[in-house]
Amino acid sequence: MTPIRYSKAFKLQAVREVESGENCARAVERKYGIRGSGTVTGWVRRLGSGKHGKIIRVEKPDEISEAARLRRQLQLAKGALADAHMELVLEKAFLSVACEQLDQTVEGFKKKHGGRPRTRRSS
């Protein structure tokens, strides 16, 4: 099935028919043979004057500030995750270089020293 592209002028004509009350969106789709339910409704939302299909959200001031606080918190968490990821990448690179200088494989080093806490020798 090949997709059909409609010109902006055609879309605006269909939107005008719906907004004028001449036809509903479904009737316009049938009239012009537009396949896909919701196509004309989408055009009305995007290209229309706002009388039909627009969703208006009314928020209280405390809801707005809560959303802003959550967005800030999310940004901070993303930054912390990026920092932690960067530290991990650097640690892996340092381990690789150190193992190379010690003529040892990273896997061998991990097997030998993996997971055990370091103990300090007393002098």
Q: How far apart are CA 116 and CA 104, in angstroms?
A: 18
**Per-residue pLDDT band at 23 (split at 50, 70, 90):** confident
pLDDT of residue 52: 67
**pTM of this prediction?**
0.42
Helices and strands per DSSP (H, E), number in the chain = 5, 0
Render pLDDT for 26-65 as a digit per residue (tens, 0 to 9): 999 999 999 888 899 899 988 887 776 556 678 888 888 8
pLDDT of residue 21: 85
